[in-house]
């Protein structure tokens, strides 16, 4: 089955791709075998990350970008990371609800995925899903993070180009900019630019870029004002994304990014396999006894963890 599914994905079959993404999201062993077959066909797509606080207009921006890319006959894949439902464990928002304007376009593949408690704004499976859409033949893959706060810096490890969206007047503008987001942005978007606080936010950003020395680098993150609901500034964002991609290729930075991504992928895969191996060796009865020892303070969790690792790795 895995062989046939991977072949269909490579041919752009949307039904097969949806099945593979479900296997990945559910963490089933068949997914690993499929990924082995698909991996040699990856590395062609331009991966764009879109992150920012809730209400910044990320989904609206992504929808507008899809329209521009489809106008140029580019194939687009979307991974929209949503909060996890406390009842079902699935994504709270559905892909057809978020971006229904493009839901019936055969050259646009949209997948909503839940974080399932994973921190950093991405889901654990988002990395592998992006690879599947890449192998499927998508030219542009847009990953929209969950938008839960100020710590969504994991996107920099997956995306080639990271777009950070900010909205003036939310009360914590500077804090949001300083909390690691300044370092991950390749492009800043100040959305809802018809608000009176817009120019002040742009000035604050320019000052912070200057203080951080980012204006002295080869690539200075542009600051683009938009009103996404009206389509204003979207062309400028698309142009900035392409300019950044060309800069990466021209400077050799793209190769460096891909190498760093491969290293991170390998680390993630090793850690996941190690976790599976460890917990497959511990039955429930033994685990319950260990938890009781910790709860009663007869043993500490550090010593128990060392004992478990030592017995398995040796």
Looking at 3.30.420.40, 1.10.10.60, 3.40.50.300, 3.30.565.10, the CATH number of the domain 43-251 comes to: 3.40.50.300
pLDDT tens per residue across span 144-177: 987 644 445 566 778 999 999 998 876 655 555 5
pLDDT tens per residue across span 27-44: 888 999 999 999 999 999
pLDDT tens per residue across span 260-311: 989 988 988 888 888 888 888 888 888 899 999 999 999 999 999 998 888 8
Percent of the chain having pLDDT more than 70? 82
Contact 209, 221 (CB under 8 A): yes
How many Å apart are CA 101 and CA 57, to the nearest integer? Answer: 16
First to last CA, the chain: 36
DSSP string, 16-77: HHHHHHHHHHTT-HHHHHHHHHHGGG-S-SEEEEEEESTTS-HHHHHHHHHHHHHHTT--EE
Q: Where are the domains of the chain?
A: 1-41, 43-251, 265-313
Contact 102, 63 (CB under 8 A): yes
DSSP string, 246-302: HHHHHHTHHHHHHHHHHHHHHHHHHHHHHHHHHHHSS-HHHHHHHHHHHHTTSS-HH
């Amino acid at each position: 089955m895995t062989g046939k599914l991977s072949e269909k994905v490579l041919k752009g079959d949307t039904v097969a791709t949806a099945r593979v993404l479900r296997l990945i999201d559910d963490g089933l062993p068949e997914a690993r075998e499929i990924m082995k077959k698909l991996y040699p066909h990856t590395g062609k797509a331009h991966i764009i990350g879109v992150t920012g606080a809730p209400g910044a207009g990320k989904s609206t921006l992504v929808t507008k970008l899809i329209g521009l890319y489809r106008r140029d006959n580019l194939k687009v894949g979307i991974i929209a990371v949503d909060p996890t439902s406390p009842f079902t464990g699935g994504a709270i928002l559905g892909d057809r609800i978020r971006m229904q304007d493009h839901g019936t376009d055969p050259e646009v593949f949209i997948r909503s995925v839940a974080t399932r408690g994973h921190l950093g704004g991405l889901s654990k499976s988002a990395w592998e899903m992006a690879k599947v859409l890449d192998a499927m033949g998508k030219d542009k893959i847009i990953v929209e993070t969950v938008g839960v706060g100020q710590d969504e810096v994991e996107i920099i490890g997956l995306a080639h180009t990271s777009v950070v969206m900010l909205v003036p007047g939310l009360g914590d503008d500077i804090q949001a900019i300083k909390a690691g987001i300044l370092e991950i942005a390749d492009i800043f978007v100040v959305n809802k630019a018809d608000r009176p606080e817009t120019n002040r936010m742009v000035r604050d950003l320019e000052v912070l870029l200057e203080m951080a020395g980012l204006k002295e680098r080869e690539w200075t993150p542009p600051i683009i004002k938009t009103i996404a609901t009206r389509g204003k500034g979207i062309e400028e964002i698309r142009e900035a994304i392409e300019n950044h991609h060309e800069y990466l290729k021209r400077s050799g930075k793209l190769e460096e990014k891909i190498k760093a991504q491969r290293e991170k992928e390998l680390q993630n895969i090793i850690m996941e396999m190690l976790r599976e191996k460890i917990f497959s060796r511990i039955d429930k009865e033994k685990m319950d006894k260990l938890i009781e020892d910790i709860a009663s303070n007869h043993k500490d969790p550090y010593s128990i963890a060392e004992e478990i690792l030592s017995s398995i790795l040796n």
